[in-house]
């Protein structure tokens, strides 16, 4: 089946059937043809590498993926595949899962007549949805990658949405069209660029994926105050690629990590507790800045592998080997930081304060920086513990 009209209707039916497609956005999703925004060459995963899938060679699979429930990879390695044979290593741009697009547009709460700045044009599909409801004259989109920006301009013009697509660094916003009622980022941040706050009207909203070295998976909605600050809260669970200048470069080479000279200990804290539990992982990321976690499963033995905790800035690492039916896990640590000890301490702290969920965290942005605070059940009352998660973070490192 390659008829885009049929596949588009199936997509709409899935979103409506799950209750995710609200009446507010159903008309836009029905009107904007998703396939017109996806490049003729996309990328799929094969043997842990990203390989091209060309529309001309396999139109049926291409169309099925475009209208399927998963994200569609449209660029690897910033447009220059790093693996010989034009195979990719890292995903650097994608068309988001349709249900994530719906959730974010709902959370943005953009009303007709509002001016919106989108950070990260990508394919242009999200910008077209905004333009259909708000009018193209009210939407500005910024894309740092020249090739992606040019593709989006062509797709938007062809589809009847010739809005302003600016090739620029999105961390600076776009002052010529400010102030905005809404700013929406389709890339994750560790710290919110202050120009976004400065270019948003008081009472306006900024919506962005947000994360730490340890945890990438929070959608944060900020309200901009008259005093030039912004107060944010987590409103959803989404994982996006970070802005280019905030990427996290973290990798592990087990041949260079000598366990024979590492500090040895053991723990009864399970791997799931510190990695698989969303609430715990979120808290650990707040408490242990600069620490990335990498899961390396054993391909030969099910449910067996190694958790790595790494801080490239200090050449510190720790690992935990895990396997089924185990109650005690061996730990190795090396470098000036005892990363596992920090992670375990943060996990126990999270439990001691009542296992707070994402609704308990508040993020405040000021001209001086960013502060993350754990609140009581009332969003107005705070505990005495808070931290700037960027205070101990050095150069950016990428986790993809």
**Number of alpha helices (DSSP H) and beta strands (DSSP E) in the chain:** 10, 19
Beta bridge partners of 320: 307, 331
Give me the DSSP letters along 307-373. Answer: EEEEETTTTEEEEEEE-TT-S-EEEEEESSS-HHHHHHHHHHHHHHTT---GGGEEEEEETTEEEEE
The vertex-92 CA angle with 48 and 297, nearest 5°, equals 30
- Helix (H/G/I), strand (E/B), else coil: 245: helix
Give me the DSSP letters along 6-27. Answer: HHHHHHHHHHHHTT-S-HHHHH
Instruction: Give the phi and the psi of residue 230 in degrees, each rounded to 5.
Output: -140, 140
Beta bridge partners of 317: 310, 334
277-312 CB burial, b ≥16 within 10 A, e <16: beebbbbbbbbbbbbbbbeeeeeeeeeebbbbbbbb
- Helix (H/G/I), strand (E/B), else coil: 121: coil
- Helix (H/G/I), strand (E/B), else coil: 137: helix
Q: Which of 94, 96, 141, 334 is catalytic?
A: 96
The vertex-19 CA angle with 18 and 23, nearest 5°, equals 135
Known active-site residue 96: yes
59 alpha-carbon distance from chain centroid: 29
Burial grade of 377 (CB within 10 A; 0-12, 13-18, 19 or more)? exposed
CA distance to 46, 222, 388, per residue, from 274 (Å): 29, 28, 21
- Yes or no: say if 201 and 185 are a contact pair by the CB < 8 Å rule: no
Dig out the tokens for 393 from the structure.
Answer: 């973070």
Annotated catalytic sites, by residue?
96
């Amino acid at each position: 089946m390659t008829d885009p009209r049929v596949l588009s209707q199936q997509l709409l039916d899935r979103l409506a059937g799950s209750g995710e497609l609200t009446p507010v956005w159903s008309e836009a999703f029905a009107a904007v043809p998703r396939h017109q925004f996806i490049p003729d060459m996309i990328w799929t995963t094969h043997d842990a590498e990203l390989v091209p899938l060309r529309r001309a060679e396999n139109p049926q699979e291409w169309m099925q993926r475009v209208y399927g429930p998963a994200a569609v990879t449209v660029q690897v390695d910033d447009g220059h595949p790093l693996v010989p044979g034009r195979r990719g290593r890292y995903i650097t741009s994608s068309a988001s899962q349709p249900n994530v697009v719906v959730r974010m547009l709902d959370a943005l709460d953009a009303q007709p007549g509002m001016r919106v700045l989108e950070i990260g044009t990508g394919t242009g599909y999200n910008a077209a949805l905004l333009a259909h409801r708000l009018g193209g004259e009210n939407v500005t989109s910024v894309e740092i990658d020249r090739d992606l920006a040019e593709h989006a301009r062509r797709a938007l013009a062809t589809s009847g949405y010739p809005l302003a697509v600016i090739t620029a660094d999105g961390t600076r916003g776009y002052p010529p069209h400010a102030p905005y009622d809404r700013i929406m980022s389709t890339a994750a941040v560790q710290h919110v660029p202050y120009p976004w706050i400065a270019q948003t009207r008081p009472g306006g909203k900024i919506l962005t994926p947000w994360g730490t070295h340890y945890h990438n998976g929070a959608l944060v909605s900020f309200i901009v105050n008259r005093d030039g600050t912004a107060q944010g809260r987590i409103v959803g669970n989404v994982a996006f690629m970070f802005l280019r200048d905030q990427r996290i470069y973290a990798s592990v080479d087990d041949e260079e990590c000598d366990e024979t000279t590492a500090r040895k200990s053991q723990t009864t804290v399970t791997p799931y507790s510190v990695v698989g539990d969303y609430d715990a992982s979120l808290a650990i990321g707040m408490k242990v800045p600069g620490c990335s976690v990498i899961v390396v499963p054993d391909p030969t033995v099910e449910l067996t592998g190694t958790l790595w905790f790494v801080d490239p800035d200090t050449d510190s690492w720790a690992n935990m080997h895990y396997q089924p039916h185990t109650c005690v896990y061996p730990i190795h640590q090396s470098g000036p930081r005892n990363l596992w000890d920090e992670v375990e301490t943060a996990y126990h702290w999270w439990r001691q304060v009542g296992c707070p969920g994402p609704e308990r965290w508040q993020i405040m942005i000021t001209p001086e920086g960013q502060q993350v605070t754990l609140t009581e059940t009332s969003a107005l009352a705070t505990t005495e513990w808070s931290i700037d998660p960027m205070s101990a973070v050095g150069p950016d490192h990428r986790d993809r």
